[in-house]
Structure formats: C-alpha cells, structure tokens
Structure 1
Amino acid sequence: MMIPARPAYEPGDDSAELLKGLDARTLREIERAAQSPRMFGLAFGKTLRTAFTHCLHDPAARASGTWQAWAAAMQTGSALFASAMTAEGTTVECLIAHEKRAVPGLGGPTPFTDAGTWLQAFWLAIICRDQVRLTQLAHVPMELLRSSGTDFEEYVYDWVDALQTYWLEGEGLGDKLVAAFDGTNPQNLKFVDRELMLMILYPPLNVFYRFLTQDDEEFDKTLLQAVQLHHEYWTADEERAGDLDGAVALAPLALACLAHDAGRPIPFETEYLPEGLLDRSWLGRFPT
C-alpha cells in the first residue's frame, strides 16, 4: 500500500509570524464581507487558503490556530449561503471567527453561490462536525445554485442533490447517486477536462458510494485511491505542486471524517488527510 506524501515544505523560523499576519489579513476580509456580503465569495476563498496554509505549517493539524482557521473557513462558507437565503432588508446572525455578526441578507443568488462552492462549504461542515450548518446547507434550493451564473457539468447538481438527500434522510438517494455517476462520463464533459474529472472530481463519488454500502474493505481501497490520485494530479508539474489547492484532499478528508465518526478506522495516515481534523481532537474546545 503506497501512502502518498505531500511535497516537502519547510516552514522556516518565521512560521509563527507568517501565520499571525495571514490570520490578521483573513480576519479583515471576513469583517468586510460581513458588512458587504457580496464579497463573501472572495472572503471564503481567502479563509480556505488560510486553512490550507496552516496545514502546511502544522501537517497533523494539532495546533489550536489550525483548527480555528478551519472553523473560520466553514463559518464563512455557510454564511455565504445563509445571506443568499435571507431576504434583503433583513439580517441573519452568523458566528464567524469567534464573533456573532449581523450579516445583511441578499435575498437571492450571487456569482459565488454556485454548486462548486456549496460542495466546499458542505465538506468543511462535515470536517468541523457542525450538524446545524450541514442541515442549513442541505436546505439550500437547487435553483439558487443553478442561478449563480457559473456553468457546471450536470452531474454536479445530481451530486449535490444526493448529498442533501443523504443528510436529510430523504428518498431516492440511490437514483440520485446513479445519475451523478452517469454524468461523470468523460465523453460527455462540457466544462472540465478528462484528467480533472478522473483524478479529482470522480473519486469522491466512488468513496461515498462505498461508505453507503458499508463495505469497509472497498471503502479503504477507494479512499486510498482518491488520495493517491489527488497526489498525482497536484504534483504533475511544478505549477500544480505550488498550488495551495493541493495541500489537503478536501472531499476525501470529509468522507474519511464520516467514516471515522461511524466507527470505521482509517488504515493509513497521510498529510493530505490531517490527523487532527480527522479525529476531531479540537471539537468542543471553543464555540463554532
């Protein structure tokens, strides 16, 4: 069993100061977005990159600052959709970065309330074990996601539908997951290339299916394969190797968290699935 290792990263002696400055800049982005929620998309991207950067400096995700960065990313992603689902002229209370904020409602879609962002927000809520936010995200209407103005392969909406149905224990989960699988056929792709589909986008569907079927051996196999493919994709060339998006395997990590919480031990360790996030060691240390 080959366990992929993330490309070597040497934080340096100024690691603490670097993270302190990064956290301060990220907080300012959050504060601006909480006042002007049309900026939430940019703030969400910033918080996610900050969380990934913390994991470069803290690969096992054991430091309090790392968990706080991941919680802030989760809170920002969820607030983005909460604002879109709140009527204009009113506010919605959102806890972000340790502060309750009255976020103005936008009353409809924005360019950032798309299905891809929804998936990231959902994975973060799973990783942070926030059932309330998971339920809120599961109630985001499909029409709001489709109205963002961003083009996605049709399978993405079936994938979102399947995850919402799973979390809300609704009917038709199997059919929705089959539809999502069918839509990943590389021959039918319009907006993404074959490599991205086969190495990054498709594997989480397969891992989720094995989780649902409670086949521990196949789950372990497909999870490891998902991480291996993630590694291969993000180390294929120098440009990708330097991209923060490859630092953590976000969707596989979230699905591994589901398995961990269901009592299924993950039989391998890798920095792509930070141990402190997987075993929820910081859960309950501060309000999220």
Structure 2
Amino acid sequence: MTRIPRHGYPASINVETDINVAAGLKAIARTANRMLERIERSELSREEALDMTLTVAEARCEVDPDAEEFETWEAWVTAMQLGSAQFVMATAPEGSTVTCRIKEKEWHLPATGAQPHVNAYSWIQAFYLAMICRENERLTELARVPVSLLRESGATFDEYIYSWVETLQRFWVGQEDVSTHLVAAVDGTGPDSARHVDQEQMSMVLYPPIILFYRYLRGDHAQFNEALTDAIRWHKSYWSGDDDRAMSSEGYVALGPLAIACLARDKGFPIEVDSEYLPKALLNYAWGDEIDTAFHAQKQRKAPVHSSCRS
C-alpha cells in the first residue's frame, strides 16, 4: 500500500490565528443553500449551483478527510444531483419544466437548452460525480447528452476534451470505438495540441484520469495502481505548487482519479493507494443507499451500521 498524505497549508499561514476552518465551511454551505433555494427562479443560481455545491463537498473533506460523516456524503450527493440536473434541463424540450429531486426536495426547473455553463468541462464534472456516487441511471442519462450540445455552449476548450467525453459516453453505453476516442483524447493533451489550458494543469490534473482509465480498460491491476499513484502524486504536486492553490478546496480531493478508482474498485481492482485525496468512504461507497437519489422518490435517512459510516 502506497501512502500519499494530503498537502497542508502554506508555511506563511498560521491556521490557529489566520483561518477558522469550521466557520468558513459553514459560510460557504449557507451560501450554497441560499443559491439552491433560488434555483427555480434564478438563472444565475442555476449557472453557479454546481460549482458552489462541489466546493462545499470538497471543503467538507478538509475537516472530514475520509468522508466518514453523513453531512459529507450529503454534500457530495447534492453536487451530483445538481450536476445531473443541469443536463436534464439542457436536454429537455423547449418550454417544458423538469422535476428534479435535490436535497430531499422536488424542484421544478425550466428547460434551458444550450448554455455557457452546460459545457464539456461541467459534463465531465457531472460524470465524475455520478461515478463516485454510483448513479448508474444518471450516468446513462449523461452518456446520451449530445456532444453537439456541449459544443453549442460557446465555451472554449481544446479538442481533447470532446474526445474524452465521447470515450466515457461510448464506454458507458457499450458502443464501439472507445479506444479510438481514448487515443485521440490522450494525443490531444500533449503540448503540441493543447492551446487553451496551462500545460502544468494539463499534465498534472487533466491528463491523469485519462491514462488511468486506459489502465483500467487494460485490466492490469499493477499498472492501474502505478498510474493511480502517479495521478495522486501529480495532483499533490500541482495543488501544493503555490500558496493560492494550496488554499483552494479544489485540491482537497482528486476528483477525476477518485471517480476512475471507484469504477475500478467496484470491478474488483485492489486499490493500493491510501490518501486523503481519495476519501475512503467515497471510494468504498460506504454511505451507499443512505440517501434516495431518485428524482421523485421519498426516503428517510437511515442510521449507519458502524459509528458514523456504513461499511
């Protein structure tokens, strides 16, 4: 087992005097809740909801690095629900209303069509979140989102990202040519191809989930764990690279590698990397079925089997 501890705060920061972590977490959670309350009537809230709720989920893992607390799982589920909902809205018939269940409540949301925030990057975030939460039906829904809709967003990305989207879509629904799109995605991450993203971020954050997925498809457990070790080390190196990054909640969890590791773990791969970047309860699906995530179903929270987390 390879142990990779999470990076800490920059040396210039005195945590005891400069940061009140608990208060900061409560503040962003309140902001996310207020945004959610306006989601039916506010276009801005719909645009920002995924980013805000994902920030809450990642920030929860600062104080709960193994995701053992129910509130942490709830935060990840909420981000997953909003990630899925924005694509349900985007693909719904013009003029219609969709009903989505988010945080134990049904919301009546308008069809939006193509929007700047409904783009390839947010699709990948939504897909990763659904993988982590083991939401097979939502993964199937996301796999059916037309790539043309993502291109209509107006957001500017390197071409590799569309190949990566098509790789994941085709894999999930069992279509052919997965390897063709995967090779195109890998080739598109090189310095001669990428034009719209910093090469450091590309090589340390965006590329690793792609090569990790390749190792998953090959089925070699040892090579998969070698690639996972590299992915987590690169993630740590990037997010500890300067003071601003080290303070960002985005660095607390390796989102893409975690999603692929969840896929592999459920397929029987031994996961031989131990790190707060891969929260154990998320990786092991320890809180599975504690929240009914269906769009319309009602379900009460159940008590965990062991301490604060179901095994």
Instruction: Give TM-score, length-normalised by structure 2.
Output: 0.87
1:50 aligns with 2:50: no
Instruction: Map residues 132-281 of structure 1 onto 2, 5 A cutoff.
Output: 132-281=137-286
Which residue in the other structure is 1:33 paired with?
39
Give how far 1:28 is off.
1.6
Q: For 1:73 and 1:178, how far apart are their aligned partners in 2?
A: 30
Residue type of the partner of 2:213? Answer: F
Aligned residues: 287
**Structure 1 residue ranges without an equivalent (≥5):** none
User: How far off its partner does 1:38 sit?
Assistant: 5.3
Alpha-carbon offset, residue 201 of structure 1: 1.2
Q: 1:114 aligns with which of 110, 119, 131?
A: 119
- Name the Cα RMSD after superposition: 1.9
The 8 Å contact of residues 114 and 145 in structure 1, kept in 2 or not, is answered as yes
- The reply on whether 1:72 has 2:78 as its aligned counterpart is yes
Taking a change above 3 Å as real, the CA distance of residues 276 and 11 of structure 1, as seen in their structure-2 partners, is: farther
3-state SS of 1:33 partner: coil
Shift of 1:278: 0.4
Map of 2:298 onto structure 1: none
8 Å CA contact retained: 1:30, 1:76: no
- 1:17 is displaced (CA, Å) by 6.0
1-structure distance, mates of 2:193, 2:171: 26
| The 10-residue stretch of structure 1 (142-151 or 86-95) with the greater mean CA deviation from structure 2 | 86-95
Say whether the 8 Å CA contact 2:53–2:79 is kept in structure 1.
Answer: yes
* Equivalent pair of 1:162/1:173 in contact (CA under 8 Å): yes
Q: Structure 1 residue 274: deviation in Å?
A: 0.3
Q: With CA pairs under 8 Å and 6+ residues apart, which has the higher RCO, 1 or 2?
A: 2
CA distance in 2, matches of 1:11, 1:170: 53
Does the CA contact (< 8 Å) of 1:37 and 1:103 recur in 2? no
Task: State how far apart, in whole Å, the 2-side matches of 1:190 and 1:205 are.
Answer: 18
Q: Which residue of 1 aligns with 2:132?
A: 127
CA distance in 2, matches of 1:215, 1:30: 42
Cα deviation per residue 1:216-268 (whole Å; 9 max; x = unaligned)? 00000001100100000110111111111111100000001001111112112
Structure 2: segments with no counterpart, 5+ residues: 10-14, 294-311
State the Cα deviation string for residues 36-59 of structure 1 (Å, max 9, x = none).
355323111100000011000100
| 8 A contact 2:50–2:83 mirrored in 1 | yes
Structure 1 residue matching 2:8: 3-state secondary structure: coil
2:4 is matched by which residue type in structure 1? P
Corresponding letter in the other structure for 2:33: L
The question of whether the paired residues in 1 share the 8 Å contact of 2:67 and 2:280 is answered with yes
